Structure 1
Amino acid sequence: MKKVIEFLSENPVQYLATVGRDGKAKCRPFMFAGEMDGKLWFCTNNTKDVYKDMLENPEIEISVSSPSYAWIRLHGKAVFENNMAAKEMCIANPIVFRQRLEADFGQESVLYHKRGKALII
Structure 2
Amino acid sequence: MTTEVIEFMQNNQVMYLATVDKAGNPKVRPFMYYLERDGKPYFCTSSKKPMYKEMREHPRVEITVANPEFAWLRISATVSFSNDMEIKKAIIEASPIVKSIYQTAENPDFEIFTIINGTATIADFSGQPPKTFTI
* Shorter-chain TM-score range: over 0.9
Q: CA deviation at 1:86?
A: 1.7
Gaps of 5+ in 2: 124-135
Aligned length: 121
Which structure has the greater CA radius of gyration? 2
Q: CA deviation at 1:115?
A: 4.0
Q: 1:100, 1:94 → 2: CA distance?
A: 10
- For 2:101, the equivalent position in structure 1 comes to 99
Structure of higher RCO (CA pairs closer than 8 Å, 6+ residues apart): 1
SS in 2 for 1:68: coil
1:113 maps to a residue whose letter is I
1:117 maps to a residue whose letter is T
Q: C-alpha offsets along residues 2-60 of structure 1, whole Å, 9 cap, x if unaligned?
A: 11111111111000001111210000111111111221111100010000000000000
Instruction: Answer whether contact 1:62 1:74 (CA < 8 A) is retained.
Output: yes
Q: CA deviation at 1:116?
A: 0.6
Identity, in percent, stands at 41
Matched, 1:80 2:50: no
2:40 maps to a residue whose letter is K
Q: 1:4, 1:115 → 2: CA distance?
A: 15
TM-score by length of 1: 0.95
TM-score by length of 2: 0.85
Q: 1:71, 1:29 → 2: CA distance?
A: 15
Root-mean-square deviation (CA, aligned residues, Å) is: 1.0
Q: 1:37-48, aligned counterparts within 5 Å? A: 37-48=38-49
